[in-house]
Chains A and B, each alone.
Chain A
Amino acid sequence: MAKPDSLQGSMDLLVLKILSRRPGLHGYAIMSAIQDISGEVLRVEEGSLYPALHRMEEAGWIRAEWITKDTGRRARLYELTAAGKKQLGMEESRWQAVTLAVNRVLREA
């Protein structure tokens, strides 16, 4: 049940990009960052974030580490791996190609 504001297809790209700029974020911070930077236009479906993170972790694009915060609570922080950097490059160029193509269609149709 896709929502109108869902980020289907581009979640990976956004997460990888955020992590490439700011390594060591936990899930909530990644979600907040996407919403803040996009000016609240892009809203991450909170529940689907974690399966996505875990999938990317298993694919070797990102790695995670448990840390204990000052408050005593544990948090799981994510950062990009070398394979993730490559993946980000591929996803970015794919995104460029797609937006270019969509723009062309919008312009020339």
Chain B
Amino acid sequence: MSLWSRIGNVFRGERLNREIDEELEAHLLEALAEGRDPAEARRAFGSIMRHREESRDARLVTWLESLRSDAVFGLRQLRKTKVTSLAAILSLALAIGACTSAFRLIDAILLRPLPVANPDKLYDLTREGIGPEGKPQTFDGWAYPDFQLMRAAVKDQAELFAVSYAEPVDLTYKSDEEIEKAYLQYVSGWMFPTLGLRPALGRVFTENDDLKPGGHPYAVLSSDYWTHRFGQDPKVIGRTFRMGNELYEIAGVVEAPFTGTEPGTMVDIFVPTMMNPAVTRKDSTWHRTLAMVKPGAAMEAIRQKLEATSRAFEEERAKGFMGMSKKEIDNFLNQKVLLEPASNGVSDMQSETRRPLAVLGALVVLVLLIASANVANLLTAQASARAREMAVRVSIGGGRWRLIQLVLVQSAWLALLAAAIGGLFAWWSGPFVVSMINPPDNPARLILPSDWRVLGFGLLLALAVTLLFGLAPALRASSVHPVSALKGGEDPHSKRRLMHALIAVQVAFCFLVLFVAGLFVTTFERLSHQSVGFSADRVLVVDTVAKTPQPVEFWEQVAEHVGSVQGVEAVALADSPLLGGSGWNNFISVNGAPPNGVLSYMRAVSPGWLEAMKIQLIDGRDFRPGDAHPGAALVNETFAKTYFDGADPVGKAFDLSLDEGASLHYEIVGYVRDVRYRNLREPILPQLYVPFHSVDGKGASGKRGAGVLLVRTSLANPRSLASVLRQEVPRARPEFRVSRVRTQLEINQSLTVRERLLATLAFFFAIVALLLAGVGLYGVLHYSVLQRRREIGIRMAVGAQAGIIARLVTKEVFSMVLLGAAAGVALGMLSVRYVETLFYQVRATDLEMLALPSLAILVGALLAALRPVTQAVRIDPASMLRAE
């Protein structure tokens, strides 16, 4: 059997065999019906097997042969026009590569199912309702006691399990000298059996590992962590690490590739929920609740049971609420419980990047369409050059389908070559893009496999692109009329019309890409250049921890010691860094009046903090030694506006309302300028700073286990002090360790990572789109000049001026550019609504946002037109007419 029929076997072998057999069988039956002797008929017929093979060959090989010869011919055609083919392949490769790498990212974050049993039965419990600010909000955090009640309530229909929000923690393996970071997640012990996860080593948790608060100091590692931290050492079982005051023993390693339920965060260490200090608290919503629904269970029934159980729990708790209005409590209780599908996990990264990724996806698709239009135009131009060849093929009997196949095979070559190069590009750029999203000290770690999903996507894309840009030229080529084509060409305008339409489409898409890119770049510019109210230059943020909480005096000694290190200009202590993302808040009561419902955001800082962060003091004074929390306070401008109608609040007093009716009294000693609190987008919050030095009711100093040292250095590169500080801190007091050193600048920049990513990629795609559209425009103009050489020659011979010729050549194309740009504006206005939330202080209707892309397209079009127009004007009528 020949190679080709073997290949054919794959596509349509079995059915074909059956058909041939049936037909041969029918022949013999026919012979018998005529009264022939069965043995004679069979003998006359010969070997069925042999005939079957001959028939098969006849029916398969011709088709495969034609495909093969088309493939060879198509490749030869491409090589004949090396430069144009290469340009087409490269532009397509860029577009396909961008698409594939966008797909890899989108797939890894949003689409890929978790590597667990029955991911499609997995749901995330979420509450939806009206938040304290009167706006709709959803939140999927739960308190453990509530979770326990809900789990029992739906025991028969679904298995609920708790997973905490994965977070980096400080831990030590050998001595306390070496603190390292690892991502840790508290999980219900029965999560492992529920998700069908098996150990790669040792054991994983079960229900029995998660029974008693604080009673199960065991850990399960992820395979990934076991590999990169321990080199897959089997002796890791039984080793211990210290986290906080607790010593944990490693019980096992869970099989790869499971790394938790949060795409974007790869969990290193799993510990039982019972080890979380908040596990008994009713007011701390520190974990997600996932539900594995049993087959056949009714979702709505489960949902209602959960809602009823959770409501009963919160109603009981709400009896003790203070400082909330009746309406707020009602809103809180009336929250609806939802079951959101979680087959691909749940993470903040998903919700944060869903829209940006969708925008990026749309941009790369537009770029792909622009590139496809280019290739379609190239093929159309080529097809017109090949009109004679096609006409000959038709007149010697080439069927219409044969010709379509011929052109499509050539497009497939282009697409496949482009997909191969694009694949390489995607393979390289995927991790590169991920590294761009990563803040240096807190990397988002993603599984980015290049598996059959990505390969399948790439091939599908190549196929779609082949049909997209190959079909029109193919149909056109195959409908060639031999007589008119051989006589010297059919209507030349019909081809130009198609090309012109594609130009308009390209310009429209290009405008859209430029427009959106402009908006993102402006957003990033405005966001990153706005004032934060303090100076981040040369400031190191030194996260410091103590084995056990230490008296604040010891913290002050450490700060004092660090202040004496060479290169340090100023040092201050705080509970958390500015713009670090976290915060705490309280209601304020002025003159004993009830709180006005606006939360004030707090930070504990030491004397010298204002100076270290270069925050301007408007009135009053900084903290000084002797000030304590509670007692003295600094407040910002928004605080004064919110609670004191904007009057200078120095010397005034207020109370912090705590839970259960208690309150703390403060006197305002200083009035400072506004600074940004946790992020760059929200309005400035009312802020209140209290002394780092805390005292309890009896006047004894408070203790702290963790804090940050803010170190303003005199060095251009403050990081060079990091290792010195790591040594100096324990030298000041042996109980203290540095767990992490960042620069304040890094913290600030990490807040615009998403915007920077969008701006950079959108800008990149805008350049590519402009380039591709320019190339396309050039190609079409060039082609039309070539085609109209004779006409131009004649016009010039009868006295047409260069200007008229230029207008003649460019008029149609430029009207297409205008049409395309107008369509682009309309498209932009329509589509931008879906991404408005991603913008900052910029609007789609801003004039410059529309003017810039228009200008870019105009300049691009002029540049593209320059050469073809010069060519047209330089046509020498005499030689042209002679040549004809």
Contacts and interface: CB of A to CB of B under 8 A. Distances in A.
Given A51-B55, A83-B399, A58 B24 contact: no
* Residue among A60, A83, A86 having the largest count of chain B Cβ atoms under 10 Å: A60
A46 B45 contact: yes
B59 A47 contact: no
A45 B50 CA distance: 14
A54 B62 CA distance: 10
B509 to A, nearest CB: 40
A66 to B, nearest CB: 8
Contact of B59 (A29, A48, A54, A83): A54
Contacts of B19: 76
B322 interface: no
B51 A28 contact: no
Given A47-B46, A58-B63, A76 B26 contact: yes
A47 B397 contact: no
Contacts of A60: 399
Contacts of B46: 45-47
A57 B58 CA distance: 9
Given A26-B30, A50-B20, A86 B397 contact: yes
A45 B44 CA distance: 8
B30 A54 contact: no
B29 to A, nearest CB: 7
Given A46-B44, A55-B62, A26 B26 contact: yes
Nearest to A27: B27
Contacts of B63: 58
Interface in B10-44: 19-20, 22-24, 26-27, 29-31, 34, 44
Contacts of B47: 47
A59 interface: yes
B23 A47 contact: no
A76 B23 contact: yes
B156 interface: no
Contact of A58 (B31, B54, B62): B62
Contacts of B31: 28
Given A59-B62, A83-B397, A50 B24 contact: yes
Contacts of B54: 48, 50-51
A10 to B, nearest CB: 18
B399 A50 contact: no
Interface string A25-39: 011110010000000
Chain A contact patch, size range: 20 to 34
Contacts of A75: 26
A47 B50 contact: yes
B59 to A, nearest CB: 5
A60 B59 CA distance: 11
Nearest to B399: A60
Nearest to B29: A73
Interface residues of B, number: 26
A31 to B, nearest CB: 8
A50 B51 contact: yes
B135 to A, nearest CB: 67
B58 A58 contact: yes
Contacts of B58: 51-52, 54-55, 58
Q: Is the interface of B mostly helix, strand, loop or mixed?
A: helix
Q: Is the interface of A mostly helix, strand, loop or mixed?
A: helix
Contacts of B26: 26-28, 73-76
A76 B16 CA distance: 13
A28 B26 CA distance: 8
B812 to A, nearest CB: 39
Contacts of B397: 83, 86
B30 A28 contact: yes
Given A46-B27, A73-B26, A54 B44 contact: no
B45 A47 contact: yes
Contacts of A73: 26, 29
A27 B45 contact: no
* Residue among A45, A58, A60 having the largest count of chain B Cβ atoms under 10 Å: A58
A47 B44 CA distance: 8
Contacts of A86: 397
B402 to A, nearest CB: 9
B655 to A, nearest CB: 92
Interface string B146-170: 0000000000000000000000000
A17 to B, nearest CB: 19
* Residue among B19, B22, B24, B26 having the largest count of chain A Cβ atoms under 10 Å: B26
Contact of A51 (B22, B44, B51, B399): B51
A47 B46 CA distance: 6
Given A58-B58, A58-B62, A83-B397, A47 B22 contact: no
A65 B242 CA distance: 79
A50 B23 contact: yes
Nearest to B30: A28
A49 B34 CA distance: 18
Given A47-B46, A73-B26, A74-B26, A58 B399 contact: no
A68 to B, nearest CB: 11
Contacts of B399: 60, 83
B320 to A, nearest CB: 81
A76 B30 CA distance: 12
Nearest to B50: A47
A11 B24 CA distance: 18
B415 to A, nearest CB: 27
Nearest to B397: A83
A47 B50 CA distance: 9
A55 B56 CA distance: 9
Contacts of A46: 27, 44-46
Contacts of A59: 62
A59 B30 CA distance: 27
* Residue among B31, B45, B58, B397 having the largest count of chain A Cβ atoms under 10 Å: B58
Interface string A50-88: 111011011110000000000001111000000100100
B392 to A, nearest CB: 16
Nearest to B66: A58
Contacts of A58: 58-59, 62-63
Given A27-B23, A51-B55, 12 more contacts: A26-B26, A29-B30, A46-B44, A46-B46, A51-B57, A55-B59, A57-B59, A58-B59, A58-B62, A59-B62, A75-B26, A86-B397
11 contacts: A27-B26, A28-B26, A32-B34, A46-B27, A47-B50, A50-B24, A55-B59, A58-B62, A58-B63, A75-B26, A83-B399
Question: Which 8 A/B pairs are nearest by Cβ-Cβ distance?
Answer: A28-B30, A51-B54, A47-B46, A55-B58, A54-B58, A58-B62, A54-B55, A46-B45
Interface of B: 19-20, 22-24, 26-27, 29-31, 34, 44-47, 50-51, 54-55, 57-59, 62-63, 397, 399
